[in-house]
A and B are shown apart, each in its own frame.
Chain A
Amino acid sequence: MSAISDRNVPSGLPPSDRSRPHAPRQGRRLAFTIDRILSVLIVLPSILAISIFVYGFIAWSVRVSLSAWTKGLIPNYTYSGLTRYIELLSDRRFGIDMRNTAIFTSLFLVVCLIVGLLLAILLDQRLKGEGFFRSIFLFPMALSFIVTGVAWRWLMNPATGTRISGLNLLFDQLGLDFLISRWHTTPPPWGIAFVVIPAVWQMSGFTMAMYLAGLRGISDDLREAARVDGANEFQLYRYIILPQLQSVTLSAVIVLGHTSLKIFDLIVAISQNDIKLDVPAVYMWRTTFDGSNYSRGAAIGIVMLITVAVLIVPYLISSMRSQEAKL
């Protein structure tokens, strides 16, 4: 069988069967074998790099997390079992981190999906200037979380009285005083919920783009048929269109979910070390590189990896299966 995959070849014959009569058999075989070896050689450096920098380093992180390297820059690999992980269970700061991650991730997912879907449906109404609106909702995607964080820290400034500024000032001037808020400085646990606002601002355009692509994939005939059957616009979306967008929602959950489980820069830029807004990614950074507690840092990193893997691995496996099924 040929190594060139024949996904796009309509004929039922494998390509090797068709190309066989064109060339003397022996020569082709030889050239072909060389090409096969070459194909592996070409991707080998990448495979090696990933084996070392991803899998090797993960293994090494696990080793560090099981060590007694809790102080200083000089490694101490004395084996100390699961001590670091057990410590994390009763670590107050890590408890705050886990709670913050749970609140942030669930709110972020729900709000981002709803806003993204809403924007996509609004843009799917054969508008003039659709491209213009689309670019506006998408542009925050091009920014770094640091830029977003710096800008939103001022927008969400909680000061009151004569120091009032940012969105609070805007609401005050527009007579929308009931919207004035302490934003991310709201007492725990809800301060972190306000950090969802800049995160949604940045990522909802992406969700919109995914849903829009999904909506464009639904045939007009189907919509027409539903309308002929007397469905109104709401029923059309509720019963015909939304059920067809499930796979888009799944992909969006994967991308948004893993982004938010490891959220780091946005928190750093907005919280500026406020422990009430802490998340595991920030704790890992601080405890490792400021506190020199390498084994605790490694343990946090591994816990984060496991959380993300629970979400990603099933998706990757099913993705691979469908890829194989296509061949």
Chain B
Amino acid sequence: MTFARRFSRIVLYALLILLSVSYLLPIYLMLVTGLKPFAEVNLQTMWQLPNRIAFDNFLEAFDKLWPHLRNSLFMVLPAALISSMIGSVNGYIFSKWKFRGADLIFTLILFGMFIPYQSILIPLVQFMQFIHLRGTLPGLILVHIIYGIPITSLIFRNYYAQISTEILEAGRIDGAGLIGLYRWIMFPLSIPGFVVVLIWQFTQAYNDFLFAVILTNTAQWPVTVALNNMAGSQIVQWNVQMAGALLAALPTLLVYILLGRFFVRGLMAGALKG
């Protein structure tokens, strides 16, 4: 390795480390703030490491956010599960059983994932009131499932498009019909697709703020709404807000750390590539 090459390597790593540090700054601040005892919380020393580890801030934030964290999890799990089931069958049909006009219909469905929800919000609220689901978690779950149809169908359709049609042909010759082919061939091959979609819908529904703030009341607030409310309050100190933000981020962060590979795949699927 020449000197110039070695030098450019050092510069490259230095640059990457510098960038990484700046990307981690917000998390660092949330973490050290959260781990300080109340006595050590001080704006002047906010960047310093704690002298003594304590969980005061996390405990107080947890106290305030726990009911809402629970709401979030109760809402997100069924939403993600049902969404991915629907996405899977839709993806199967739209990739392997294209009826006349299927591509046009699919494109019309896809449009639904790009719209600003402000353009459907008023009718949505009226409708949810009409069916008596406004202000309930099942109502919020239903909304996440319906507006999740475009993206979940897209991810599954692209995933199934990679599965060779010859396997299905073979299955057909053996006498399997549309449902049999799905049940015995496609579904067993779908596990990675399901992981991607489950993670994607989990993150989307968990991180949502707009639907939640409009369709739920204080008691059913998911954690995003509760956190925003806490941050706007004059009574709750900044240190508790920081700890709360980290707490609220924890479920999706854990999913990302444990299953990052699949998370990125869902991310890329959102970028279409018809």
- Chain A positions within 8 Å of B, measured between CB atoms, are 3-9, 15, 18-19, 22-23, 31, 34-36, 38-40, 42-43, 46-47, 49-50, 53-58, 60-61, 64, 75, 119, 122-123, 125, 127, 133, 135-155, 162-167, 169-170, 173, 201, 206, 209-210, 213, 251-252, 254-255, 258, 261-262, 264-265, 268-269, 272-273, 280-281, 284-285, 288-289, 294, 297-298, 300-302, 304-305, 308, 312-313, 315-317, 319-320, 322-324, 327
Contact = CB atoms under 8 A, between A and B. Distances in A.
Interface stretch (B51-59, B188-196, B259-267): B259-267
B16 A127 contact: yes
A39 B93 contact: yes
The 5 closest A-B pairs by CB, nearest first: A144-B207, A319-B274, A57-B120, A142-B256, A262-B116
Nearest to A162: B44
Contacts of A324: 103
Interface in B197-245: 203, 206-210, 213-214, 224, 227-228, 231-232, 238, 241-242, 244-245
A263 to B, nearest CB: 10
A64 B123 contact: yes
Contacts of B242: 150-151, 154
B98 interface: yes
Nearest to A153: B231
Given A7-B161, A142-B255, A308-B114, A301 B241 contact: no
A19 B166 CA distance: 11
B168 interface: yes
A53 B120 contact: yes
A31 B109 CA distance: 28
Contact of A150 (B103, B116, B166, B245): B245
B122 A151 contact: no
Interface of B: 12-13, 15-16, 19-20, 23-27, 29-30, 43-44, 46-47, 86, 89-90, 93-99, 103-112, 114-124, 126-127, 146-147, 149-150, 153, 161, 164-166, 168-169, 172-173, 177-179, 203, 206-210, 213-214, 224, 227-228, 231-232, 238, 241-242, 244-246, 248-249, 252-253, 255-257, 260, 263-264, 267-268, 270-274
Contacts of B165: 4-9, 15
Given A135-B260, A323-B274, A144 B120 contact: no
A196 B166 CA distance: 49
Nearest to B120: A57
11 contacts: A3-B97, A4-B169, A137-B19, A141-B263, A144-B224, A146-B209, A155-B26, A201-B26, A210-B268, A316-B111, A327-B98
B173 A22 contact: yes
Contacts of A284: 118, 121
B123 A57 contact: yes
B96 A5 contact: yes
Given A42-B89, A43-B90, A251 B272 contact: yes
A106 B116 CA distance: 18
Nearest to B244: A150
Contacts of A75: 126
Contact of B227 (A38, A140, A147, A288): A147
Contacts of A165: 43-44, 46
Contacts of B272: 251, 254, 315, 319
Nearest to B114: A312
Contact of B105 (A38, A47, A264): A47
A19 B173 contact: yes
Contact of B209 (A43, A119, A144, A262): A144
A115 B273 CA distance: 22
B87 to A, nearest CB: 9
A133 B107 contact: no
Given A143-B252, A308-B114, A169 B274 contact: no
A8 B122 CA distance: 45
Contacts of A167: 25
B249 A143 contact: yes
A314 B259 CA distance: 34
Contact of A144 (B19, B108, B117, B248): B248
A60 B253 contact: no
Contacts of A22: 173
A209 B114 contact: no
B101 to A, nearest CB: 10
A164 B47 CA distance: 12
Contacts of A320: 103-104, 106-107, 274
Contacts of A6: 165
Nearest to A262: B116
B46 to A, nearest CB: 6
A261 B116 contact: yes
B23 A137 contact: yes
A35 B97 contact: yes
Nearest to A49: B146
B90 A19 contact: no
A251 B116 contact: no
A165 B249 CA distance: 23
Contacts of B30: 151
Contact of B231 (A133, A135, A272): A272
Given A50-B149, A61-B123, A144-B252, A169 B115 contact: no
B120 A139 contact: no
Contacts of B224: 144, 146-147, 265
